[in-house]
Structure formats: C-alpha cells, structure tokens
C-alpha cells in the first residue's frame, strides 16, 4: 500500500510508529471505558483520532508528488493534496476542545475521562505537527526557512479559526463540499461582526497562539543535540 510505504519511509518511520503506538493506547483506553461503564459517551474520541490522521496522510501524499518533479500531473496532485491537508489540519488539534465534555458535571471517573481526552488530544496534536513539519519542509525548500515560519504562523491562524468554526458553529471540514452555502453564510456572519462575543474574537487568536507556541517548542525539542562526554578511559586516576 502506497501510503504505508510513505509513512514508514526512512525519515518518518520512527515518529509514525510512535504515533501508531499512541493511537493504539488511546483507542484501547476508550474501549476499556466503554466496556467498564457500558456507556458509549466517549467513543467519539476514536472517530476524532481517525480524523487527526488524515492531515498526515495528505501531507505524505503531497510530499511524494512534490518530489515527483514539475510534471503537470504532479503539480495538480500536489495542489489537491496540499489543499486537502490544510482543510483537514484543524481536526488534529481540535481534540483538545473535547475537554468541554468534562465540564458538564463532576462524577466519580472524572480523572479517567480527563486522561482519555488528553492522551487522545496529545496524539492528535503531534499527528498534526508531524504533517505540519513535512509541509514546512517543502515550503522551506522552495521559498526558504524564513518564509516557512511565516507559513507556520499562517496555518496556526487559519487553524485557530477553523477550530472555532468546529466547536462553536458546529461546522466540519467536509462542509466545504457538502454544505458550502452554510459555511459561506457562517463565515460571512462572523466577518460582519467578529467582536460579537469573547468566544468569536478571543478563541481563534488564543488557540492560534497555543498552536504556534506548542509547535515551536516541539520543533526545538526535535532539534536538541545530544551532549558529548569524554570517554571513560580518558579519566586517569
């Protein structure tokens, strides 16, 4: 399978396997909760985690077409995959907003559910960031690293707004295809008065800031250089 081959390539094999492990643990925890409580309340986390994998799949396909060269077919496919990646990218960090389901009431397994949401959200966030790093690398190769960081800031801003549309206006990525009129009117209504409420103005900005800062920190960690120590034999009594 092509996507499996791309995901397990030399550059992405280790993070992909780690994310697969994290996803498996998250799904197992959700299933265990469903079995123990006989309640499907948090089964939606499995679906949200599946959606968080889509940006990585589209980023891998876009990178493959980018490497294929400047053929018209490759350029067209790259544009399609890159557009799909940007459209579905907010689904990866969106899972963090599922903590809202913990605020309805306090109950005995609150901490269990908090761990479920956070473990799934963290996996989804790193999935998104891996796809973002792949796309940033393509931008950097074509336009330079400075432009690539402007690209990161732009994606974070669009994602903050996209997550607002999903959480508060209950719109999905596929509404661009299946309900374009509803999406158009919702965005137009927001644009007409973006300061109508604290959620409509502050939430997109705050979440965009969170995404940008989190990505910068993770980027810095992945570029941490291992310390070097003298060989034990070099120490003489």
**pLDDT of the chain along its 237 residues, tens only?**
788 899 988 889 999 999 999 999 999 999 999 999 888 888 999 999 999 999 999 999 999 999 887 677 778 999 999 999 999 999 999 999 999 988 766 567 788 899 999 999 999 999 999 999 999 999 999 999 999 999 999 999 999 999 999 988 888 887 777 788 877 777 887 777 777 777 778 899 999 999 999 999 999 988 777 766 665 555 455
Q: Are 128 and 214 in contact (CB under 8 A)?
A: no
Q: Which residues of 212-235 are buried (b: 16+ CB within 10 A; e: fewer)?
A: bebbeebeeeeeeeeeeeeeeeee
Query: Cα(108)–Cα(88) distance, rounded to whole angstroms?
Result: 35
**What is the predicted pLDDT for the residue at 227?**
66
Cα separation values, 207 from 50, 86, 157, 199, Å: 21, 16, 8, 11
Q: And the tokens for 65? A: 């077409």
Q: Are 128 and 95 in contact (CB under 8 A)?
A: no
**What is the predicted pLDDT for the residue at 178?**
74
Query: Cα(82)–Cα(198) distance, rounded to whole angstroms?
Result: 32
Q: Find tokens 């599922």 and name the residue.
A: 98
Q: Find tokens 């927001």 and name the residue.
A: 190
Cα separation values, 174 from 87, 88, 124, Å: 8, 8, 18
**What is the predicted pLDDT for the residue at 235?**
46
Q: Report the predicted TM-score, pTM, of the whole model to 2 decimal places.
A: 0.90
Phi-psi region of 228 (alpha: psi -120 to 50; beta: other; left: phi over 0): beta
């Amino acid at each position: 399978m092509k996507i499996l081959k791309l995901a397990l390539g030399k550059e992405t094999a280790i993070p992909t396997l780690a994310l697969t492990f994290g996803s498996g643990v998250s799904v197992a925890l959700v299933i265990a909760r469903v079995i123990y409580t006989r309640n499907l309340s948090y089964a939606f986390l499995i679906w949200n985690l599946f959606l968080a994998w889509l940006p990585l799949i589209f980023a891998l396909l876009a990178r493959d077409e980018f490497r294929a060269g400047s053929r018209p077919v490759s350029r067209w496919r790259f544009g399609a995959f890159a557009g799909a990646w940007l459209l579905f990218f907010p689904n990866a960090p969106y899972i963090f907003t599922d903590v809202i389901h913990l605020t309805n009431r306090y109950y005995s397994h609150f901490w269990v559910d908090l761990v479920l949401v956070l473990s799934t959200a963290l996996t989804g966030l790193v999935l998104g960031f891996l796809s973002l790093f792949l796309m940033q690398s393509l931008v950097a190769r074509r336009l330079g690293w400075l432009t690539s960081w402007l690209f990161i800031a732009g994606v974070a801003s669009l994602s903050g707004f996209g997550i607002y549309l999903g959480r508060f206006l209950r719109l999905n990525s596929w509404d661009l295809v299946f309900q374009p009129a509803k999406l158009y009117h919702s965005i137009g209504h927001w644009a007409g008065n973006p300061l109508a409420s604290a959620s409509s103005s502050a939430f997109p900005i705050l979440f965009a800031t969170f995404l940008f800062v989190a990505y910068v920190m993770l980027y810095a960690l992945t570029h941490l250089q291992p310390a070097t120590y003298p060989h034990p034999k070099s120490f003489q009594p």
